Structure 1
Amino acid sequence: MQNQLAACTKALESSEELLETANQTLEGAENHDFHQAAKQIKDSVTMAPAFRLSLKAKVSDNMSHLMVDFAQERRMLQSLKFLPVPSAPEIDMAESLVADNCVTLAWRMPDEDSKIDHYVLEYRKTNFEGPPRVKEDQPWMVIEGIKQTEYTLTGEGLGGHLLTAAPPAGASGLTVPRAPSPAFMFRLDASTCHQNLKVEELSVEWDAMGGKVNPPPPHTHDRGVPTPQGSRGSAGDTLIDGGDHYWEVRYDRDSKAFGVGVAYRTLGKFDQLGKTSSSWCVHLNNWLQVSFTAKHNNKAKALDVPVPDCIGVYCIFPEGFLSFYNARTKQLLHTFKARFTQPVLPAFMVWCGSFHVYSGLQVPSTVKCLQKRN
């Protein structure tokens, strides 16, 4: 039906152009050229690609005027039937949920409509409430082919942003509030990492050729306090001085060594993570034989648990708890009970490998429950 409609439209447009040309030709023709001009017009109309589809061109006996029969096209257009536009879906706020770094959106149709085949969901992150703003940089993301009347969005940083979303068919937008628990946002400080590490925002890769013969002097924060530049180490750029915070890190299982934890910013440039009283971490050693330990103040405790490829770090600063979880299964790996005397920074260490950090996450409800229980 769509092809027929397109053909009719094309034919109508061609007929208008040809008729206009015919009128101009007839008006400019002399009497003795009249019949020849009319014959040329008839041939042009008859041979036009659009008219060869179905339209019939006719010329009167005395060739005084040109006619085109649109009867068949009129019948085709009159027989077309268009489906009604469906009503806009309505957001079901009671069934929509923000939890565990996920946003579940639910909607319903105001009227039953059996002809709806699927839905399309558009959303984007924003730091502003209300309607979208022109200068916002976050692009709209599109999810097509949703068969149900709900969809769960998961991903890094959903807990740290407002979320503007809308179901299809012209439904009004919805601004989903930030998650109830605070999201800890940070980036890796490339200027203070070890010289053999290549840092790109939240990704770190070991670069054996990145070292220099004469290492640069340690960078300092305000008031001349050295930043954590432990051996093969990297630190976050945001201090933790209160509250509870959660982040995750996924590392390359082929890394020769890997560590994740927290440290005071007074950690020395060549101090290794977990070997001083100013740092706490879990450490994986793949060199010669595999060992997985919790380390602090140069003391190591072997962890008799499967080594995960993604580790969740949960820091409750006021109470001095630092817990490590299997980010996939939420199994507790180890908990330090410390007395933090100054703010801490997320800290990492890798040798001959790589890792990626996920910040801006809510504290998963499972982790909160396990922490209380333990």
Structure 2
Amino acid sequence: MDDEKETLKRIVSTLASKNDEIHNFMDVLNHRIKSVQFSSQVNSSNAISELDEEFDGLYSVLHEMKGSMASAIQQEEACKIQALQDQLSQCSNALESSEELLELAAQSLDIKDPVEFLQAARQIKDRVTVASAFRISLKPKVSECMTHLMVDFALERRMLQAVKFLPVPKAPEIDLAACLVADNCVTVSWRMPEEDSRIDHFVLEYRKTNFDGLPRVKDEQHWELIDYIKATEYTLSGLKFDTKYMNLRVQACNKAVAGEYSDPVTLETKAFVFSLDSTSSHLNLKVEDTYVEWDPTGGKGQEKRKGKENKSSGHIPLLKGNKRSGALSPKRTSISTRPSARGGRDRFTGESYTVLGDTFIERGQHYWEVRAQKDCKSYSIGVTYRNLGKFDQLGKTNSSWCIHINNWLQTTFSAKHNNKAKTLDAPVPDRIGIYCDFDGGQLTFYNANSKELLHTFRTKFTQPLLPGFMIWCGGLTVSTGLQVPTAVKTLQRSENGLSDSTSSLNNIA
């Protein structure tokens, strides 16, 4: 009985959800009827007026065609309204039946007799199986766009007997198999359902979303528009993939009017997105989202403020015999802040001018890039476990890996891990790409412009990783929301097929 009751509860929930969908769809149908009526009043009246003007000048040739064309416009209006009203009537009947069934199901839940309850539950289940609410289409049969809006009078007088309406273009069909998402670009390809030589151009619209499947009406970003596309393919480039998916749709246009949009498609635009965690960064670092700059006055200003606070609060030092566990640390506060990826640990201090990313890498392949200011004296970029101590520096522990650039007096370029360094025989690029394959145990640095390999660490990552950055005198800009570039994937396949010549640092425990 419990299983049947649970099944009936799910049926009730499904019916209620379906009723909500039908209610919403009926609102759409009513709105569509009004739109068709308004469109008919405006567009069809204009079309008939234009027909009158043309027929006045060419009456002898066009008189017989005038009535049929005007009738076609009116008939289309009547047919569309009738089709929508029929659909609305079907929805009303389905909703009435569904609400009756929903009420009966809800009452059945109160039946105490097991036999009577099982019989009622089976009857409701059988009725739900054939319920019309699950068979009706929740898409309007017609749109408010009128098929007949303009007559083409460009032909010579002797050709007027063959004159035709310039029809609304059909909706294009997006070829999902031909669409490509790579290198932070989206290539969209489409086709017309049938040949139409009067298509002038296409309109492509796209918007970012975190929802899979069909686009949702509520809580969505607005559509971005690309107009006057002459081909049946277009590439959106220079995108930041800061959402999981992207919706796309296409519209065909002729000289008179735009047609309906294609059925939207949803493409996955997965990439690694993170910001810099300012809550645990060194006080000499000024952090803003994805930019960090060394500030020599930051720590001193903070120390002065802290000294004043201690004096004003009458702070009493701990006695020698007191346990540290019996007192609160002055560096900790009860003020609520954004959770730190380092678990609320103290800020980096001393000569560890460090800031970490706020998003863990726990699986998969990820890529981001870093650009240093030209006057930057010293900086390190890499990854670390969260246990990096507040005095530790990247590459000087067995749980951090990085490359280090020192432009003080003379330029040095090296890879660092476990307090050991290896000099890199390559010029320092102005933009460095970092590729991390967590599952494959690989951290690789590239010249982001040429995709030239700089260095590869190979190890087995045993804890989640955080992007790490150290800087002294200068600033770093981090680019996130990037896919792994195709060139990097190709280089990875080539590199993994060869013996690694940089293993001297990779195998250090």
TM-score of the superposition, structure 2-length normalised?
0.52
The residue that corresponds to 1:187 in the other structure is: 275
Q: Summarize the alignment of residues 185-224 of structure 1 with structure 2, pairs less than 5 Å apart.
A: 185-214=273-302, 217=331
Q: In structure 2, how many angstroms separate the alpha carbons of the residues matched to 1:298 and 1:202?
A: 27
Q: In structure 2, how many angstroms separate the alpha carbons of the residues matched to 1:88 and 1:321?
A: 47
The residue that corresponds to 1:241 in the other structure is: 362
Going from structure 1 to structure 2, the CA distance change for 1:262 and 1:77 (only over 3 Å counts) comes to farther
The residue that corresponds to 1:178 in the other structure is: 268
Q: In structure 1, how many angstroms separate the alpha carbons of the residues matched to 2:215 and 2:383?
A: 38
Going from structure 1 to structure 2, the CA distance change for 1:301 and 1:100 (only over 3 Å counts) comes to same
Using the TM superposition, give the Cα deviation of residue 76 of structure 1 relative to its aligned residue in structure 2, in angstroms.
6.8
Q: In structure 2, how many angstroms separate the alpha carbons of the residues matched to 1:184 and 1:210?
A: 30
Using the TM superposition, give the Cα deviation of residue 322 of structure 1 relative to its aligned residue in structure 2, in angstroms.
1.0
The residue that corresponds to 1:101 in the other structure is: 184
Using the TM superposition, give the Cα deviation of residue 84 of structure 1 relative to its aligned residue in structure 2, in angstroms.
4.1
- Of 300, 313, 323, 2:434 maps to 313
Q: Secondary structure at the match of 1:369?
A: helix
Q: In structure 1, how many angstroms separate the alpha carbons of the residues matched to 2:221 and 2:291?
A: 21
CA contact (8 A) 1:119 1:145 kept: yes
Q: In structure 2, how many angstroms separate the alpha carbons of the residues matched to 1:186 and 1:296?
A: 24
Deviation track 1:9-45 (CA, whole Å, cap 9, x = no partner) reads xxxxxxxxxxxxxxxxxxxxxxxxxxxxxxxxxxxxx
Q: Secondary structure at the match of 2:262?
A: coil
Structure 1: gaps of 5 or more residues: 1-72
Deviation track 1:289-343 (CA, whole Å, cap 9, x = no partner) reads 2222212223222222232222221222234211111223222110012343432
Q: In structure 2, how many angstroms separate the alpha carbons of the residues matched to 1:326 and 1:218?
A: 41
Q: In structure 2, how many angstroms separate the alpha carbons of the residues matched to 1:218 and 1:285?
A: 34
Q: Number of aligned pairs? A: 303
The residue that corresponds to 2:469 in the other structure is: 348
Q: Secondary structure at the match of 2:482?
A: coil
Going from structure 1 to structure 2, the CA distance change for 1:119 and 1:296 (only over 3 Å counts) comes to same
Deviation track 1:72-100 (CA, whole Å, cap 9, x = no partner) reads x9647967856543332221223211233
CA contact (8 A) 2:368 2:482 kept: yes
State yes or no: 1:146 paired with 2:235: no
Going from structure 1 to structure 2, the CA distance change for 1:165 and 1:233 (only over 3 Å counts) comes to same
Q: In structure 2, how many angstroms separate the alpha carbons of the residues matched to 1:159 and 1:278?
A: 29
Q: Summarize the alignment of residues 79-118 of structure 1 with structure 2, pairs less than 5 Å apart.
A: 81=151, 84-118=167-201
Greater relative CO, 1 or 2 (CA 8 Å, sep 6+): 1
The residue that corresponds to 1:127 in the other structure is: 210
Deviation track 1:200-225 (CA, whole Å, cap 9, x = no partner) reads 32233334443334558489878775
Using the TM superposition, give the Cα deviation of residue 157 of structure 1 relative to its aligned residue in structure 2, in angstroms.
4.3
Structure 2: gaps of 5 or more residues: 1-50, 58-149, 153-165, 253-259, 307-330, 334-339, 496-509
Q: In structure 2, how many angstroms separate the alpha carbons of the residues matched to 1:241 and 1:364?
A: 20
Deviation track 1:159-210 (CA, whole Å, cap 9, x = no partner) reads 851110112343224233325xx63332221211122333232233334443
Using the TM superposition, give the Cα deviation of residue 235 of structure 1 relative to its aligned residue in structure 2, in angstroms.
0.6
Using the TM superposition, give the Cα deviation of residue 150 of structure 1 relative to its aligned residue in structure 2, in angstroms.
1.2
Deviation track 1:31-65 (CA, whole Å, cap 9, x = no partner) reads xxxxxxxxxxxxxxxxxxxxxxxxxxxxxxxxxxx
Q: In structure 1, how many angstroms separate the alpha carbons of the residues matched to 2:492 and 2:357?
A: 24
CA contact (8 A) 2:283 2:347 kept: no
The residue that corresponds to 2:451 in the other structure is: 330
CA contact (8 A) 2:241 2:481 kept: yes
Letter in 2 for 1:141: E
Q: In structure 2, how many angstroms separate the alpha carbons of the residues matched to 1:350 and 1:77?
A: 79
Letter in 1 for 2:290: L
Q: Secondary structure at the match of 2:358?
A: coil
Going from structure 1 to structure 2, the CA distance change for 1:372 and 1:151 (only over 3 Å counts) comes to same
- Of 233, 248, 252, 2:373 maps to 252
Going from structure 1 to structure 2, the CA distance change for 1:104 and 1:345 (only over 3 Å counts) comes to same
Going from structure 1 to structure 2, the CA distance change for 1:253 and 1:183 (only over 3 Å counts) comes to same
Going from structure 1 to structure 2, the CA distance change for 1:197 and 1:136 (only over 3 Å counts) comes to farther
The residue that corresponds to 1:295 in the other structure is: 416
Q: In structure 2, how many angstroms separate the alpha carbons of the residues matched to 1:89 and 1:175?
A: 12
Q: In structure 1, how many angstroms separate the alpha carbons of the residues matched to 2:473 and 2:239?
A: 26
Q: Secondary structure at the match of 1:158?
A: coil
CA contact (8 A) 2:384 2:466 kept: yes
Greater strand percent: which structure?
Answer: 1
Larger CA deviation: 156-165 vs 73-82? 73-82
Letter in 2 for 1:171: Y
Q: Secondary structure at the match of 1:288?
A: coil
Larger CA deviation: 260-269 vs 288-297? 288-297
Using the TM superposition, give the Cα deviation of residue 104 of structure 1 relative to its aligned residue in structure 2, in angstroms.
1.0
- Of 348, 353, 356, 1:232 maps to 353
CA contact (8 A) 1:241 1:344 kept: yes
Q: In structure 2, how many angstroms separate the alpha carbons of the residues matched to 1:308 and 1:218?
A: 40
TM-score of the superposition, structure 1-length normalised?
0.69
Q: In structure 1, how many angstroms separate the alpha carbons of the residues matched to 2:347 and 2:430?
A: 28
Q: Secondary structure at the match of 1:211?
A: helix
Letter in 2 for 1:271: D
CA RMSD of aligned residues (A): 3.4
Deviation track 1:76-131 (CA, whole Å, cap 9, x = no partner) reads 79678565433322212232112333221011223444444433221111011344
